[in-house]
């Protein structure tokens, strides 16, 4: 699942690339998600996108930033199964229409 997520999300920073320093402070850094200022020890780097996130922008469940964690939740959603087999499959119909037009 992580590989599918990595394929969908562009990297913002390389692995171990440091976060942006807060220009108003000597030893503080900026969260890439909410732009709040904090210490380096209060930031974590997301393994998917490389963003640095503070504790309020972090999802501990997957050890990802909330942005990537939200996408992960969407990928893990199970779509309900249709009960009526008589209902046509719209995706199949669209695909069939497209293939009929090609020589």
Task: Summarize pLDDT for 29-47 with one digit per residue, the tens.
Answer: 999 999 999 999 999 999 9
63 located within any domain: yes
Q: What is the total count of domains within the chain?
A: 1
Residue 16 CA to residue 11 CA, distance in Å, equals 12
| Contact of 38 with 54, CB cutoff 8 Å | yes
94 located within any domain: no
68 located within any domain: yes
Q: Read off the pLDDT of residues 65-83 as tens digits, 9 standing for 90 and up.
A: 999 999 898 888 876 666 5
Residue 63: other Cβ atoms inside 10 A: 13
Show the tokens assigned to 38.
């904090």
Domain extent at residue 27: 2-77
SS3 for 79? coil
Percentage of residues of the chain with pLDDT beyond 90: 50
């Amino acid at each position: 699942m992580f590989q599918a997520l990595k394929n969908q999300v562009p990297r913002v920073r390389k692995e171990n690339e440091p976060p942006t320093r807060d220009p108003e402070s000597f030893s503080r850094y900026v969260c890439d998600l909410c732009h709040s200022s904090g210490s380096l020890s209060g930031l974590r780097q997301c393994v998917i996108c490389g963003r640095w996130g503070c504790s309020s922008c972090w999802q501990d469940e997957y050890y990802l930033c909330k942005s990537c964690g939200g996408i992960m939740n969407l990928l893990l959603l199970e779509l309900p199964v249709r009960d009526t087999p008589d209902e046509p499959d719209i995706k199949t119909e669209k695909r069939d229409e497209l293939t009929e037009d090609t020589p």
